[in-house]
Structure 1
Amino acid sequence: MTWTMPEYRKARVDRAGHVLISKDATEETREEALTVLNNWRSSHGYPLNTFQARLRQVSKKVDDNALVVQRLKRVPSIRKKLIREQTKTMSLSQMQDIAGCRSVLADVKKVYELTEIYRKSRGLKHKKVGEKDYIKDPKKDGYRGIHLIYKYKSDKIKTYDGLQIEIQIRSKMQNSWATAIEIVDLFTKQAIKSNEGEEEWQEFFKLVSSAFAKIEKQSEVEGTPKVNAELYAAIKEKVDSLKIFSKMIKWSEALKVIEPQLKELSFFLLELDVSDENKPKLSIRGYPEEVESLATEHYLEAEKLQSGSPDKDVVLVGAKSIEELKKAYLNYFANSKEFLAHLKDYLERKGEV
């Protein structure tokens, strides 16, 4: 198959990034910038596929039921990150998570087992340029997981050398929490994931993250109650006031999913429309591996159509099957069952872990 190759120098890519966050950019220059961005993003496809294949292989050795998927970062997410980081040295060409793959494993023990394999990989030609352990040191918003950043390097084809790929490794419990935040963001039109959501929702997820950390016997989130009874009481109060269970169950039951009928698909374009809260709709387009470039073209077209709409979301992801897709990207299917099951169990035990 033919993979997209980078057509622009990094300086041109960085200029495109500046245009995308500029308030003074014309429609024409913004269109040009999107074209440059899409090529830059799409050119990560080949390295990403290489990393995803190895991550899948190694993950299955650690956990037979590991879920491994890949994704290219959405334009709105890229813009938000550039705006957020513009006072620092962040540039579009240096963004480390334009392309990423994720492994979701049964528990924390397996998360560290897989991480250790990567840490000890001496024969790996790709250069590791970053590692963040958000399990030992959770983010202030409660996010937990391990992130590894690599620069791609090939002995044969130099075209993609230097492109950065992010690997995320999470336990199922950590992934259920991250998924729940994205579901709430989508259906309430917030940005809790970017620390821009309503204070009560943000506090709820911080508290629950600490509860889940206690269950996993890991570091809790800074600024949350240390005493079990106090943490339980705070979570119970938020669950009741925000009507967590009724809302999340309602979203899941209301969602209509339109799936592709073809088999042997490798890429999926997910388009979620929640403009009518009572009739949310998820449309899925599937693509075989050999038409990856067509998938990325359609991705950009869909993003342009949905630009600026808080009611719509689109993402292009890679998975081995529609079944794997449903398990790994629970947020797009409004599937909060696992999160709610963990939360219900915690509440029934009144915070005793």
Structure 2
Amino acid sequence: MATLVNSGGGTTSNDAATKEEFVSLFDRLKSDLLSDLSCLPIAQDVKQELEKYYERALTYNVLGGKMTRGLTVIKSAECSLSRLLTASERHDAMVLGWGIEIMQAFFLTADDVMDQSHTRRGAPCWFRVPDVTAANAINDSLAMEAFIYRLLRKYFSSSPKYVKYVDLFLSMTYKTIVGQHLDTNAQQRREGELCLDQSRFTMDRYVAIVRHKTAYYSFYMPCALGMIVGGIEDDAAFQKTEDICMELGQYFQIQDDFLDCYGDPEVIGKVGTDIQENKCSWLVCQALQRADESQRQILIENYGRDDLSAVAKIKTLYKTLKLEDVYAAYEEEAKVKIDNLIASVESASLQSLFKFLLSKIYKRNK
């Protein structure tokens, strides 16, 4: 397999070849999960119905994303070992990577029902597929969570690292659920309509939401899994990784919030709706910190309303408060802070991992 020298001086596998190999493993893992169903004490025709349904559910919900989380497990393992992986190590990293991808599908399937979303990755949300329904989608999200542990048991139950893998998946699921609760319950209703709650739209709550709902499972988890594959056991190394990944995840979500308002829909692939959906976003938290009483009234009267004129008033207020400039300053401060944290990491190979992750998101426009 072709190799590349990365910015940190380590050697990693060719990204395109790695992604192709990663994708090719999915059908094998899917077959493993479906074969588990055949062991259930159920009549053959009912088993076939189950297998057909879950084959479709897995394909529809797990595939279609960028697979960044899963691929990062492989890169993290390589950086942890400062070499290319053996065939066995590579397989382990890919199985764990697909575990995160299934975890992502589990979260998103449930999240779409909660938010009553319409599309996901350019297709109807799973619960909106005509013969699925919300009731099935909720159960399917639980099934996908269970599938993760079926894979871990099949491939790692005899490994001394098994408990660490299971514990990490359980811990990250718990933290993400907490983040989802904080996000959902930041939104209040007045007379049945969504409304801005100034006591809840704070930066303290915002940071808690983004770190628990995004940073842990999207950044820390794939790095930590790769480090376990690579044999790293030093608690200080995991703590340093967590510190860096919390900053990376927070920066990533703040970018998302900014692009939701200011990004080009042709580039980001969607029209932003955070204002209409009353999201506890970075922009509205910053606005509340800077607004005078009359400007706060504009926010209270218009934020969370699915009305184009109300959205326009909020965007005009953001412009008045110069939030684009505030974001530009934040972005540079975040970059410096993350760079300094990376520089404090002793391992040059792990430094290269974090530099790679930062390079993927710094000044992104989609």
Q: Normalising to structure 1: TM-score of the pair?
A: 0.30
Higher strand share: 1
Q: Normalising to structure 2: TM-score of the pair?
A: 0.29
Higher helix share: 2
